[in-house]
Amino acid sequence: VNWGAAYVGIQMVVQPGPLSGEATQALGGVAFDPHLYQTLVDPFPEVGSEESELAWAETELRAIRANRDSLRPSHLVEFVLGLIEDADTVRDVLFLGAGWGRDVYMIKKARPQWRCVGVELSKELLSMGDDFRREEGIRVESFSLGEMLPFEDKSFDAILSLGFMSKLYDQAALPVVQELLRVGRKGIYHLEDARGPEEALKLKQNSLPSIYSHFERIAEPKPVLVKGQDSGFLFYKVAI
């Protein structure tokens, strides 16, 4: 599912209190795009099959290949990277659900001083981007749910998830979170869809606060607002 395109160009703020009321902490400052705003507030079109998701990824990869010299980091990338605390001290970053490598590539363009590594479940998506990653010098590793991530303890200053956890049941999310806490050094940052399984994407409605509480960590949700209205997306920052 093309999470990146769904968020690009959206004015986002995070409300530290309940869902209702005015936003008090501006985190975005990016240009408002009404078409992409509609993409966010409407239910995502559900990917009908693995084949259709792969076809979309192939189209996206061709477009980025054709325009790579003129591409700039997306508003989504800048928005999320702007949420990372003590960013000047960050060097090693892990990105969950990196697909064929798009988001790792965009992070590299936005923060060339960082060493960003992705992980991806789909062998087909990984294979699709082999040549591109080799050309651009970016790294995405394969992993499987329930297995250890292929990294040493405390390898990363920051770990990013853009919707990855929204598609996991609690049973699968628990060992993933355990691994994130193992390989992380400072913080884990989630931007997740909380609209529930009645919406698109076949969301599993796991509770990140509950999952992190198993490991004595606090994951406090902050609603993401678009033009002052709740979007159904939540931001979490978890200290390691």
CA distance linking residue 34 with residue 226, whole number of Å? 11
pLDDT of residue 114: 96
pTM of the model: 0.79
pLDDT of residue 232: 75
pLDDT of residue 42: 39
Centre a 10 Å sphere on the Cβ of residue 5 and count the other Cβ atoms it contains: 15
Query: Which residue ranges of the chain lie beneath pLDDT 70?
Result: 1-51, 74-76, 195-206, 226-228
Answer for the pair 178, 188: CB distance below 8 angstroms, yes or no. Answer: no
Among 199, 169, 211, CA closest to 6: 199
Scan for tokens 């993401």, then name that residue: 224
Annotate 77-90 with b (16+ C-beta within 10 A) or e (fewer): bbbbbebbeeeeeb
CA distance linking residue 214 with residue 194, whole number of Å? 20
Q: What confidence tens digit (pLDDT) does each residue in 43-78 have?
A: 333 444 566 778 888 988 998 898 888 887 766 677
Quote the strand ranges of the chain, DSSP E.
12-14, 25-26, 92-96, 115-120, 139-142, 156-162, 184-193, 222-226, 229-239
209 Cβ partners below 8 Å, 6+ apart? 218, 219, 220, 221, 236
Sign, CA torsion 145/159/1/200: positive
pLDDT of residue 78: 78
| Cα distance between the two ends of the chain | 28
pLDDT of residue 196: 59
Q: Strand, coil or helix: what is 156?
A: strand
CA distance linking residue 224 with residue 222, whole number of Å? 6
